[in-house]
Structure 1
Amino acid sequence: MTGPQPAVPAADGAQGEPGSEFRKDMGPWANFALGFTYLSPVVSTYTLFGTALATGGPPMIWAFLLAGCGQFLVSLVFGEIVAQYPIAGGVYPWARRLWGKRWAWMTGWVYMWALLVTITAVAYGAGPYIALLFGFRPTVHTTVLCAAALIAVAVLINYAGTKALSAAAVIGFGGELIGALVVGIYLLSSHRAHGIGVILDSYGAEKNGSYLPAFLAAAIIGFYQYYGFEACGDTAEEVAHPGRVIPRAMRRTIYVGGAAATFTCLSLLLAVTDIRAVIEGRDTDPVVRVLYETMGETGARLVMAVVLISFLSCTISLQAAAGRLIYSYARDQMIVGHRLLRRFSHTRAVPGYALLVAAVVPMLIAFGSLVSADALTRIVSFAILGIYGSFQMVVLAALRARLKGWRPSGEFTLGRWGLAVNIAALAYGVFAIVNISWPQEPQEPWYNDWIVLLCGGVVVATGLLYMFTTHHYGRGNAPAGDAVPAGRPIGASRGGPHP
């Protein structure tokens, strides 16, 4: 493989990577399905439903609306960027073009670790369903082993190439719809224990205080739901006419995925017989209880098989995004081992070693989680923090570039609304990050209560140390900081040739 080269205008008018080794084997439907299965309404809802209901009661469902509106603004900003810069790797190359090499390096570093932890979170969340499907008790150890097995299966499918990834995404999309719509309709028609008004009844989740803190803590289910749309852009070099296809796929992922997740959550809420038992901790797994009560053992296991398809397809999509980010990093010589990580299998058209990292590291995190009594919540919280942090680094870079004269020139733009949407997206992201990081359990030791922010700080600190020690960020000659017009220089953050 040759080293990275300056970007030139692509065939459809967007600025992309010339001589890309990826094949454009992914159609518009598969690109949308990839983002949808990564966002995965079934995975997020089934994973965190019990936690969110116990923390905030039924009104926690409004978190889907809150997070959906905020992330829709972010998807609009991303749509403008990917339309102009349809480059594999998503947030890292976008940050590189909008701001510069150092900012891009840190954005990619944070996003990479967030993706790797999210892979662990999804696979870990599937563990209990795998155990129940195959008839053994879901202990902490079996959950970790099941998570490792799911990660291994996912990477084997990813190794098969873009066509296999597309097929897996479409199959996963079907599984998501069955898990969300068919199961939801069945629950609403056969086992409805409450009226719709229950979504306004907290059932005492606030414990004699203000309800707002309880709701914000339960909002983790909404924050966890609405990311994944950026995966549509991670595969930009594998899609024909990405400037038109990908922004539309991102928005559609928010619409359809958000509606499916809200419907899934609502159908489960109305089917839980004893909501107070969940809030008081007497029912710790309301999803499994509802499925067994309404469908019996055979029916519940069939549903779990469908749910498992959703977890697997979500893991596959996450690995695909992580692998392409790592490959994009290595292609620009931005990370240690870049000669190995940028190796590309031309037979299958996938970055094999980068995908291997996207499997091995999540497995190690899964086994490392054995030291935590509340591993799932902590893993998910850190994953959300990292994803939202890297997203907002791109949103901030876009706002900075816009104020310095950048005018999006791809096939999708927001026109005169661009600045307002950009500011609103940044405000939402900052709010979400503060909420995710805020300690929720003051009775816990301080290091447990601040564990999410501490882990985020460790990632940022090690990234800064790595960046300024190795200076990998300055090795590649791919364009950087060139979004701002040449007449309004961006100073030291510029680098590399222009398109």
Structure 2
Amino acid sequence: MTDPAPSADSAELAQFGYAQTLDRRTGRFASFAVAFAFVSIATGIFTTYGSVLNSSGPVGIWTWPIAVVGQLAVAFVLGALASRIPVTGYHYQWMSRLANPVLGWIIGWISFTFLAIVVVAVDYTIASTILPVLLNYESTATIAWVMTAAVLTLQGLLVAFSTPWAERVNNSLVTLELIGMATLTVLLLVVAAVRGDMTVANLFSKGVVPAEGFWSIGDWTSAGPWMLGFLLGAFTIVGFESAANLAEETHDPERVVPRAMWQAVLASGVLGFLFIIAVTLAAGDPVALAESGTPIADVIEATLGSVVATLLLLMVVLAIFACGLVIMITGVRLTWAMSRDERFPGWQQWYQISPRFRTPLKATLLYFCLAQLILAVFAHSETALFTLFGAATLLPAVMYASTVVLYLIKRNTLPHNNKFDLGAWEIPILVVAVVWLVFELALFRDASFKEAWAYVLIMVAIGAAYLGYLLVSRGARGLSMPDMHSIDAELRE
């Protein structure tokens, strides 16, 4: 007996002008796992907690719940769009179909540049920070380069040759991260309480940060110390909308994808905050801890012993691998989606689906080579890599703000699908999302992000040049989306 769901999903996709070319294999947990792996609280907290200790002190952790609420509101808004436009390409598709293809191309290019650099930034953390501690060796730029290249290669092979295996690996690693983070949180709280090592005052300590001017909002080129604490949540809780980029491979995406997005943010937010609280309570002297390059691992080792600390580092390595794997999947799907619409450089090659592996094989090869090129160019310059990391934090905020503004403008004309709708909560959620994104973007006025802004502007300029070529060679009508009559008709009703 034929399952009616695939045919129904294919018919829905046909309304947007596309034939079903990717296999629909992704279920509810796999969709959630994609969103959760991109967020990766183990990755974000491990790599950012130390910088928060130095910029805001331990008290900076209280910015986390605010960031979670803000990003949760954003997730609901993006979920509403994902439910109405369940097509691979996420921000690119939403902006192209509801604003215009030119703006859609710009946001698609920004999304692509973000995904191309963030996979390098994430994977480089394994080789430069964690493995040297885990395996007790002194890292060099060359060693970090080689090991990061190896991690990228393994991820590329999974994405290129088997989507089912890539999902199986990701599902397993996400399950491990959920269990591991929950277990570590409980162990930290119980053991520290039994030993009497909990320091409640840490939760309100400014640590190494001077008290004078701490609560200042800063000036035109700098953010105050307490504001910089928000980078912990802003850096970590991003990428949840990656589930939408597998919409054409997901069963019932109008219902499954939005839920995966907000559930990933909520799970990450609650579990992540409990873990941060536990670590901070057991941190001992926060001033001394701020000097460590791996403060989370130090707290775990001091409280639970070296064996558990080693297991933590291993879990973080696996979590980062899953995060990079999902980033690569997302970047490849975006490249493929833009190429399918004939608006990505060299699109004739990248839109093809491998008949043997049922994956965008050539798009994967392009994305993999670009990531390796970025790594090769920047691997021997720590300053340049920090610029990339800053850009990887900045770009999602730009993408979210653009898309939320789009939803705000178009919300009264969006069709209802009875599968995911904000209903009476729409206005309050939009208010929270807009306020949060304005505040988040204000963080990036800090002078430390000057080079990151320069990188963003350079990439936008490159994209604008190619966009100009498309407009000259095809004209504005040549950039129209494939067969938009269906959604246009719905929007007019």
Same fold (TM > 0.5): yes
Contact 1:292-1:300 at 8 Å conserved across structures: yes
Q: 1:436 aligns with which of 425, 444, 464?
A: 444
Contact 1:53-1:60 at 8 Å conserved across structures: yes
CA separation of 1:379 and 1:410: change in aligned 2, threshold 3 A: farther
Q: 2:435 aligns with which of 395, 410, 427?
A: 427
Contact 1:206-1:214 at 8 Å conserved across structures: no
CA separation of 1:305 and 1:157: change in aligned 2, threshold 3 A: same
Distance, in Å, in 2 between the alignment partners of 1:196 and 1:423 is: 34
| Local SS of the residue matching 1:230 | helix
Q: 1:255 aligns with which of 256, 266, 291?
A: 266
Distance, in Å, in 1 between the alignment partners of 2:298 and 2:170 is: 29
Q: Does 1:237 align with 2:237?
A: no
Question: Aligned partner of 1:36: which letter?
Answer: F
Q: Does 1:28 align with 2:32?
A: no
Contact 2:96-2:103 at 8 Å conserved across structures: yes
| Local SS of the residue matching 1:346 | coil
Q: By how many angstroms is 1:172 displaced?
A: 1.4
Q: By how many angstroms is 1:467 displaced?
A: 0.7
Distance, in Å, in 1 between the alignment partners of 2:389 and 2:322 is: 18
Who is 1:494 aligned against? none
Who is 1:325 aligned against? 334
CA separation of 1:191 and 1:371: change in aligned 2, threshold 3 A: same
Distance, in Å, in 1 between the alignment partners of 2:391 and 2:353 is: 31
Who is 2:257 aligned against? 246
Who is 2:94 aligned against? 94
Matched ranges for 1:1-20 at <5 A = 11=11, 16=16, 18-20=18-20
Distance, in Å, in 2 between the alignment partners of 1:185 and 1:359 is: 39
Contact 1:132-1:138 at 8 Å conserved across structures: no
Q: Which stretches in structure 1 are left out of the alignment for 5+ residues? A: 1-7, 441-448, 490-499
Who is 1:69 aligned against? 69
Q: By how many angstroms is 1:249 displaced?
A: 1.0
Q: By how many angstroms is 1:385 displaced?
A: 1.3
Question: Aligned partner of 1:40: which letter?
Answer: S
Q: Does 1:303 align with 2:312?
A: yes
Who is 2:362 aligned against? 353
Q: 2:206 aligns with which of 195, 202, 223?
A: 202
| Local SS of the residue matching 2:297 | helix
Who is 2:280 aligned against? 269
Question: Aligned partner of 2:414: which letter?
Answer: W
Q: Which stretches in structure 2 are left out of the alignment for 5+ residues? A: 1-7, 217-223
Distance, in Å, in 1 between the alignment partners of 2:470 and 2:12 is: 37
Identity among equivalent pairs (%): 23
CA separation of 1:141 and 1:371: change in aligned 2, threshold 3 A: closer
Matched ranges for 1:138-149 at <5 A = 138-149=139-150
Q: By how many angstroms is 1:380 displaced?
A: 2.5
CA separation of 1:435 and 1:479: change in aligned 2, threshold 3 A: farther
- What is the CA deviation profile of residues 346-393 of structure 1, one whole-angstrom value per residue up to 9, with x for unaligned ones? 322211122223322223323333454445543222112112212222
Who is 2:219 aligned against? none
Distance, in Å, in 2 between the alignment partners of 1:72 and 1:14 is: 31
Q: 2:395 aligns with which of 380, 386, 392?
A: 386
Higher normalized helix content (fraction of residues): 2
Tell me the C-alpha RMSD between the 2 structures.
2.7
Q: Give aligned pairs, total.
A: 471
TM-score (norm. length: structure 2) = 0.88
Distance, in Å, in 2 between the alignment partners of 1:325 and 1:424 is: 28
